[in-house]
Amino acid sequence: MQTKFIFVTGGVMSGLGKGVVSSSISKLLQLSNQKVSCVKIDPYLNYDAGTMNPIAHGEVFVTEDGGECDMDMGNYERFLNQNIPKSHNITTAQIYSTVIDAERKGEYLGACVQIIPHVTDEIKNRIRTIAKDEQLDILIVECGGTVGDIESLPFLEALRQIRVEDGQNNVIFVHVTLAPSLDVVGEQKTKPTQHSVQELRRIGIQPDLLCVRCSSELQEKTKKKISMFTNVTTNDVLSCHDVKSIFMVPQILFEQGLVDVIFKKFEKVGYIDASENWDEWNKIVNSMNPNDNPIKIAMVGKYVTLADSYVSVNHALKHAGASIGKPVEIDWIDSETFNGNIDELQKYNGILVPGGFGTRGSEGIIKTANLAREKNIPYLGICFGFQLAAVSFARNACNLSNANSTEIDDKTEYPIIDLLPEQDNVTDMGGSLRLGANEIKIKDDTNAQKIYQTEIISKRHRHRYEFNTKYLDQFSKNGMIFSGDSDNGRRMEILEIPSHKFFMGVQYHPEFNSRPGHPENTFKAFINAAAEN
Ligand code: GLN
């Protein structure tokens, strides 16, 4: 069986939405009953996204198998409603370390090791292995960065070689560019697209399709002009204009005949028309933009200057809102400057504290958790938000003043949150947290049990610290219970205050399991409680 490939490249500038285009194409093909998956190439030198600052690069998305990945992987999972393994996020560091390791072992038998063919072979090998192991009909590979970047060159060269090896009818190149207009009624400019396609052709890649980002629909005359200068037929120049929600992009591409174009190029016959499965997806997309009074959520954290820092949390809240026909409005509160003023919080239906690291902003979060508890405002704490809710409870309800997490104060008298024992000797920061999906046992007669309706759940993790079980009794005596645990009761995973309207903390990251039309249970319960508040 021959897997077909669609390679998505980007031009002009970053942030054009290559990830959304790749996800949308894969969704359309999935709706046409093709077995598809996506790969993200990140040409940077980090081994993975785990060590990168979320304010600069957006959230670190955690896969089931414990990969710390680029946030586009989250888009793929949400669009396809399918788990994507960490092997699908390829970086320069991964490729080079494999090549260098092989060289040190003498596997190249005396050859001079070079970018072409050794590095490019390793890139091709990874892509082909995924296609073969997963028996895919079509694999969509998105190459991060912008054409012309030095870092991307070996990857683009490898993709070019795959086309030569597999033939035109098995490989399609889609190039995402921009047609800016300088004012609202202004002409759509084609020069950036022309230049970026020239750059691509200079390295031997003629794109088959262009997805042109623009604020309003691409005009016919613009398409014609782009076509003339880029050697792409007008039909294959697609408008990727702004829409209300990213989940509407498959629809606008479908209406421009993208599915037919792809299957024709692939010379595939007998494919299923997407329309049968289309309805279900459209129902989900329409439900995602409810027209009602919004539920207002305060998100209190450190990485508030970039909405993408918590992109999966934002989505998960919206999936949950959609399930009860309500939009969710999120306001960001910087935990570093939050001084405990209740007026700032009381106007919200619910408070969410997402994951985080380090000392900066932690006192603001501890105050937030305490106010939510005292004023009976629905609270959901995720990972760091779970840990600091416990610290706040220790200080304010258990009389353990100055209690803390040893991540913040390693000399604290009451180490409520402490390093995972297996982390004691860890020195490397990259890839060394507790990562990926683990099973959690839910206790009977708890809110968690009501929420999940099952005894065992599996959720994704990313942390180095955990609740110190020495304090379990003291907590339960004062009204906070732990309703989920893992590793035979050794690790606490869920906390709740039964007497509260809704007060929950989870050590795992439920946001990574939430999908459009399939909201994650804890988010759903939190949003339900917020809607009633
Ligand atoms: N910093 C905390 C830990 O490492 C929480 C991590 C997180 O929120 N993802 O345990």
| Residue with token string 């939430």 | 514
pLDDT, residue 14, reads 83
Residue 354 is classified by DSSP as: -
pLDDT, residue 51, reads 86
Name the residue at shortest CA distance from atom 5 of ligand 1. 384
What is residue 347's three-state secondary structure? coil
pLDDT, residue 272, reads 64
pLDDT, residue 7, reads 98
Give one DSSP letter per residue of 165-218, joined into a string. Answer: HH-GGGEEEEEEEE--BSSTTPPBP-HHHHHHHHHHHHTT---SEEEEEESS--
Residue 464 Cα to ligand 1 middle (Å): 6
463 CB under 6 A from ligand 1?
A: yes
Name the residue at shortest CA distance from atom 7 of ligand 1. 355
68 CB under 6 A from ligand 1?
A: no
Residue from 51, 387, 404, 438 whose mutation best tests the ligand 1 pocket (most atoms within 8 A of CB): 387
Query: Which active-site residues does the annotation give?
Result: 383, 509, 511
The residues that bridge with 175 in the sheet, in sequence order, are 9, 210
- Ranges of residues in the chain with a pLDDT under 70 are 184-185, 269-275
b (16+ CB within 10 A) / e for 372-388: bbeeebbbbbbbbbbbb
User: Which ligand 1 atom is nearest residue 465's CA?
Assistant: 10
Residue 119 is classified by DSSP as: I
pLDDT, residue 354, reads 95
Separation of alpha carbons 301 and 308, rounded Å: 13
pLDDT, residue 274, reads 66
pLDDT, residue 137, reads 95
Residue from 61, 300, 357, 434 whose mutation best tests the ligand 1 pocket (most atoms within 8 A of CB): 357
- Nearest-5° Cα angle at 168, 14 to 241: 35
**pLDDT per position as a tens digit, 230-262:** 999 999 999 999 998 899 999 999 999 999 999
Residue 155 Cα to ligand 1 middle (Å): 33
pTM, 2 dp:
0.94
pLDDT, residue 512, reads 98
pLDDT, residue 271, reads 63
pLDDT, residue 269, reads 67
CA 411 to chain centre: 35
361 CB under 6 A from ligand 1?
A: no
Strands 138-143 and 36-42: parallel
Sign of CA dihedral 412, 418, 421, 424: negative
Name the residue at shortest CA distance from atom 6 of ligand 1. 463
- Domains annotated on the chain, with CATH: 4-286 (3.40.50.300), 290-532 (3.40.50.880)
207 CB under 6 A from ligand 1?
A: no
Q: Give Cβ neighbours of residue 347 (< 8 Å, ≥ 6 apart).
A: 296
